[in-house]
Structure 1
Amino acid sequence: MKSFTAISFLAFASYVAAQANGGPAFDPSGAKNVGNGQGLQFIGAQCLSAADCGSGCCAGPSGICSGVGAQTQAGKTGCGFVSGAAPAAAPPAAAAPPPAAAVAGTASAGGPPFDPSGAKNVGNGQGLQFIGAQCLSAADCGSGCCAGPSGICSGVGAQTQAGKTGCGFVSGAAPAAAPAPAAAAPAAAPAAAVAGTASAGGPAFDPSGAKNVGNGNGVQFIGGQCLSAADCGSGCCAGPSGICSGVGAQTQAGKTGCGFVSKRFISRSRRSLL
């Protein structure tokens, strides 16, 4: 209780001071998530460090969770803000060490340093890793982008910033992808939910997202194909071919903006009404 009270007091003091430092005003409904380091804070609310934010970006000058593509808009000065009131990151549990070579504090081959609090997600291929933490391949990252030169989860729109060399990094320590069982092949994806290259322009689809195309469950990651926004975890299915995108990057790399809806999706919706 004393620890919680201390953190609450520090967060309040930081809130008062930060509002005077510039940048957009905080959304006060996020006060309960300030400084807990659980990655629950939404965009527009206060943060003491990137560990608070679901987006992985705590932007200056005052500490506000931001989408990576919008980190320098509306008076913000970019990701990387850390408040003096931020609690120190807890060390990873000894019983669950990261895989070999998945170490972390600084990037060993260039690019930005890794956020060490993501060590538990390195190399598990479950798409749980947040932006700014280490990855062995895109399968680790919630954003679907593991950027070189050292392997760091990145927003697609920021994949070449801060010394990064773009999505597509795969470490020699990355586990080999398990082959899909033969029995599951017919139901792997709806017709026309192909994968590999975009058939009508824009970036190529990440083929590992084929299982999420057209199911409308909102589990498709950035870079995977979509038939409508209902497929995408980001809520943005960008044209011209239907690819899940971060909102801030919806017109980059040949994309034509959010709002793409496949004719096949419309046709299937009509049939379900008959």
Structure 2
Amino acid sequence: MKSFSAVAVLAFASYVAAQTAGGPAFDPAGVKNVGNGAGGQFIGGQCLSGADCGSGCCAGPSGICSGVGAQTQAGKTGCGFVSGSSSLTAAAPPAAAPAPADNAASTTPANGGPAFDPAGVKNVGNGAGGQFIGGQCLSGADCGSGCCAGPSGICSGVGAQTQAGKTGCGFVSGQSSLTTAAPPAAAPPAAAPAPAANNVASAGGPAFDPAGVKNVGNGAGGQFIGGQCLSAADCGSGCCAGPSGICSGVGAQTQAGKTGCGFVSKRFIRRSSLNLD
């Protein structure tokens, strides 16, 4: 006979009641992060205040963690939501980031492509590789992904560099003092041949993104979400999900047929043992 804890029942009741207030549906994988104020909730998960969210933004009308640049999209009413059942007292929206010295950043690209996430203003043009996907860039050196996509200069995953109006990696702004902005170099070949990568997951789970073939099995942490992996060392997210080995966001590791982080390919184990000689 199955039993349910009081915490699980209350969490489910809160999930159903809050969702009736409007806004987008909550991602049920985030139930465990609701109301603990630990900042572990991912975008799309339910929140009782901004303290729950990794982004710092708990958006109304129902309380859902949101990226700051998307806080009023899809029926959301902006950061600052605080649930009446929350014991947390702080729920101010994240402070606006200071503009860079050259005032190059804006939220609306002048030349087309998707809008920039304003939370990334502080990472524009410093060449430190700290800009996240969706933030403005002056060259590939700004981006954690290594890909600054045209036509306006926005950090992009390599596999998505021509989506949503983007024109591919390699953008360099006329305002940038950086002299190099080549797209990310292909990873060097592994010491032993990696298993053939393709866009069909042979053991189940979602299909692989074929653009990530060059990142499979080198352990360099350059594989983007949706690309094939032999172990977590391949993935930028640190999560190689079963049953086939695909890089996944931690919060989505059991969605779309995935069986959770921790996948390690048998071929990867065999190759690692050979390299020990």
TM-score normalised to the size of structure 2?
0.51
Q: How does 1:17-96 map to 2 (within 5 A)?
A: 18-22=18-22, 23-24=25-26, 27=31, 29-33=33-37, 41-43=41-43, 44-46=45-47, 52-53=53-54, 62-65=62-65, 81-83=76-78, 85=80, 87=92, 89-93=94-98
Q: Distance in 2 between matches of 1:62 and 1:140?
A: 35
Higher relative contact order (CA 8 A, sep 6+): 1
Question: 1:152 Cα shift?
Answer: 2.2
Distance 1:200-1:20 versus aligned 2 partners, 3 A rule: closer
Q: How does 1:194-209 map to 2 (within 5 A)?
A: 200-201=197-198, 203-205=210-212
1:261 aligns with 2:265: yes
Q: 2:136 pairs with 102, 115, 134, which one?
A: 134
Question: 1:122 Cα shift?
Answer: 1.8
Q: How does 1:146-165 map to 2 (within 5 A)?
A: 146-154=148-156, 163-165=164-166
Question: 1:118 Cα shift?
Answer: 1.0
Residue equivalent to 1:270: 273
Q: Distance in 2 between matches of 1:166 and 1:59?
A: 32
Residue equivalent to 2:191: 191
Q: Aligned partner of 2:271: which letter? A: R
Residues 170-217 of structure 1: CA deviation (Å, up to 9, x unaligned): 223273459xxxxxxxxx7742589xxx9755534597x79x9326xx
* Percent identity for Structure 1 against Structure 2: 49
Q: Residue 213 of structure 1 contacts residue 231 of structure 1 at CA under 8 Å; is this kept in 2?
A: yes
Residue equivalent to 1:6: none
Question: 1:81 Cα shift?
Answer: 3.9
More helix by share: 1
Distance 1:47-1:140 versus aligned 2 partners, 3 A rule: farther
Residue equivalent to 2:219: 214
Distance 1:243-1:92 versus aligned 2 partners, 3 A rule: same
Residue equivalent to 1:251: none
Q: Residue 131 of structure 2 contacts residue 137 of structure 2 at CA under 8 Å; is this kept in 1?
A: yes
Q: Residue 229 of structure 1 contacts residue 236 of structure 1 at CA under 8 Å; is this kept in 2?
A: yes
Question: 1:270 Cα shift?
Answer: 3.4
Runs (5+) with no aligned partner, structure 2: 1-14, 82-91, 182-187, 200-209, 253-260
How well do the aligned residues superpose, as a CA RMSD in angstroms? 5.6
Q: Distance in 1 between matches of 2:158 and 2:222?
A: 14
Distance 1:157-1:58 versus aligned 2 partners, 3 A rule: farther
Q: Residue 238 of structure 1 contacts residue 245 of structure 1 at CA under 8 Å; is this kept in 2?
A: no
Residue equivalent to 1:117: 119
Question: 1:104 Cα shift?
Answer: 1.7
Distance 1:260-1:139 versus aligned 2 partners, 3 A rule: farther
Aligned residues, how many? 220
